[in-house]
């Protein structure tokens, strides 16, 4: 299953970009990052049977293990792509939120969208590590 981060804004050559790259290179699953302008622009074409995850502070906060189980379930039911949408400073429009298969939150705090990208990359690495029984994740 392709893990596809679709983010508003250009990350450029920043320390956050280095973190994103570091974690994505460690993931054994195929990954892709697409950047959109802060406003406007079209979402990249989705693979058939894709799942849509919208990062939103009002979404569901999941433990790393629970997040891994979500990925596992989607993969095992034949989903070809998991799309993770990160909004710009003003978040997502209501239509996109309503169409999401999951509204996912890193908690009630507001995070800078560039940092959220790095946090998502780390959680994707952690989740795939959990599913591979890799020792990176330590429970409790």
Question: Which residues are known binding-site members?
Answer: 55, 87
C-alpha 98, offset from chain centre: 17
Binding residues for S-adenosyl-L-methionine: 55, 87
C-beta separation of 82 from 3 below 8 A: yes
C-beta separation of 55 from 120 below 8 A: yes
The string of DSSP codes covering the chain is -EEEEEEES---SSHHHHHHHHHHHH-SS-EEEEEE-SS---PPPPPTT-EEEEEEEEEEE--HHHHHHHHHHHHHTT--EEEEEE-BTTB--HHHHHH-SEEEES-SS---HHHHHHHHHHHHHHHHHHHTT-TT----
């Amino acid at each position: 299953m392709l893990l596809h981060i679709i983010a508003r804004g250009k990350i450029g050559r920043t320390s956050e970009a280095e973190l994103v790259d570091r974690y994505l290179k460690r993931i054994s699953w195929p990954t892709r990052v697409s950047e959109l302008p802060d406003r406007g622009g079209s979402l990249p074409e989705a693979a058939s049977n894709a799942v849509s995850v919208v990062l939103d502070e009002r979404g569901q906060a999941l433990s790393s293990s629970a997040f891994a189980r979500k990925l596992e379930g989607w993969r095992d039911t034949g989903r070809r792509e998991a799309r993770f949408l990160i909004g710009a400073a003003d978040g997502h429009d209501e239509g996109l939120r309503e169409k999401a298969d999951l509204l996912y939150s890193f908690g009630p705090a507001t995070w800078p969208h560039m940092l959220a990208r790095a946090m998502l990359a780390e959680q994707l690495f952690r989740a795939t590590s959990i599913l591979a029984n890799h020792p990176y994740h330590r429970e409790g």
